[in-house]
């Protein structure tokens, strides 16, 4: 569950950065905005899949 929440937060940061880039077009160096947005997007995808793996593996390692 934490992976999904962190992924949602990463996607929100990427979208916020995209909006900030569109509003202040001339104040960024060329290539910085796509790089940062891509890093946050792929990090969020990784966090989602790590969360899915944690949900899958977690119950099998618990002892009752």
For residues 41 and 16, give the distance between their C-alpha atoms in angstroms, rounded to a whole number. 12
Q: With 60 as the cut, is the pLDDT of residue 64 above it?
A: no
46 contacts 3 by C-beta, under 8 angstroms: no
Q: Which residue has the tokens 């929440």?
A: 5
Alpha-carbon Rg for the chain, nearest whole angstrom, is: 16
Tens digits of per-residue pLDDT, 2-56? 666 766 777 787 788 888 888 888 777 777 777 877 787 788 788 788 878 888 8
């Amino acid at each position: 569950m934490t992976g999904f929440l962190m992924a949602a937060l990463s996607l929100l940061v990427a979208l916020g950065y995209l909006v900030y880039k569109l509003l202040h077009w001339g104040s960024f160096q060329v290539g910085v905005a796509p790089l940062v947005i891509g890093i946050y997007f792929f990090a969020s995808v990784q966090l989602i899949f790590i969360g899915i793996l944690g949900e899958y593996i977690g119950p099998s390692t618990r002892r009752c």
